[in-house]
Structure 1
C-alpha cells in the first residue's frame, strides 16, 4: 500500500475527522458523524482507497 495522501491533506483529514467525532459525541450532529473515524484514519495512515480509481495523489512523487 503506497501513500497517496500528502501532508496538508493528512492534517486536514485528521482535524476534520476528529471534529466530526467530537460533534457526534456532543450531540450536535447525528450518527453519520462517526464517519469521521474513517476520515481521520485515512489521514493517519496516509492512504485513501477512494483516490485509487481516479489515480489521484495529493503527495509528491519520489524521484530516485
Structure 2
C-alpha cells in the first residue's frame, strides 16, 4: 500500500494517540482512551484506511 499520511498529519496522530493512552494509564479518562492505539498505529505505518475510499492523501506531491 502507498503511504497516504503526511509528516504533519503523522506527528499529530502519534502525539494524540500517545496522549490518549497516557491519560488512560494515569486514570484521567476511562477505557475509551485505548482508542488512542488507532491514531498511533496509523501514524507509525503512515497508512490511514479511512482515507482510502475518499482518495485523500496528506503526503506532499512530488514535483
Fold in common (TM above 0.5) = yes
Counterparts of 2:14 and 2:61 in 1: how far apart (Å)?
A: 22
Residue in 1 that maps onto 2:37: 37
Structure 1 unmatched runs, 5+: none
Partner of 2:50: 50
TM-score (norm 2): 0.93
- Tell me the residue number matched to 2:10: 10
TM-score, normalising length: structure 1: 0.91
Q: CA deviation at 1:61?
A: 3.1
RMSD (Å) for aligned C-alpha atoms: 0.9
Q: 5+ unaligned residues in a row in structure 2: which ranges? A: none
4+ long deviations beyond 3 Å: none
